[in-house]
Structure 1
Amino acid sequence: MSNNSPISFTDIARENLRSIIENGSMPEPFVRVGMRGGACGGTYVLGFDQKTEFDDQYLIAEIPVVIDKRQMLFVVGTEIDFDPGANGFYLHKPKTNV
């Protein structure tokens, strides 16, 4: 398990995820962050899942996270937020100059 955080959580996202964990309503042991589809036409994925042999495991703000090693390039720098009005999580990746 790594301590370097490739992603981050806003305070409200962290509070909501901790609540899910503490209430025992997390259906799988990890929060999965990743991409579905390609980098240009892909969409971010956030859900609950098991760890696989392809995953790196992190403990970020006391939240157990897995990220597929093959998707790391696409998700590094992503911030996970929570919108109480929409009652949902969303992922935001700031634009970077490369």
Structure 2
Amino acid sequence: MISLTNKILPLTLTPRAIVQVKAIMEHKLASHQEYGLRIGIKGGGCSGASFLLGFDKAKTGDDTYMHEDIPVIIEKKHLMYLLGLEIDYEDSEEGTGFVFNNPQA
């Protein structure tokens, strides 16, 4: 089981993203209560950073949150890059998937 903080999540998950995350967790991770939604960044350099979204277990150096019954895991050193980020889910002719809207870009 994930140990959670009482902190407020520093980013936004839209209602569409919440529905999709819960559906994935219910269908793929129902028997794995120790997993949560990991949000982070990867890379840097010339092409800049990319946002990460996946399911993982909390590790040392992580902050954990509960948002709409979803355990959310963020590595502490990634927090400043995720402040204000909005994660949405789109299903359109151009594609289907999670979309990151970064106000800092």
Give the alignment's TM-score, normalised by structure 1.
0.84
CA RMSD of aligned residues (A): 2.0
- Percent identity of paired positions between Structure 1 and Structure 2: 33
* Aligned partner letter, 2:14: T
Instruction: Structure 2 unaligned segments of length 5 or more: list them.
Output: none
Instruction: Structure 1 unaligned segments of length 5 or more: list them.
Output: none
How many residues are treated as equivalent by the alignment? Answer: 95
2:36 counterpart of 1:30: yes
| Runs of 4 or more consecutive aligned structure 1 residues displaced over 6 Å after TM superposition | none
2:7 counterpart of 1:3: yes
- Structure 1 position 39, deviation (Å): 7.8
Q: Which has the larger radius of gyration?
A: 2
Give the alignment's TM-score, normalised by structure 2.
0.79
Residue 59 of structure 2 corresponds to 52
- Structure 1 position 95, deviation (Å): 3.5
- Give CA-to-partner distance per residue, 1:11-64, whole Å, 9 cap, x none: 1111111111222x1377111111101387111111111111010000112111
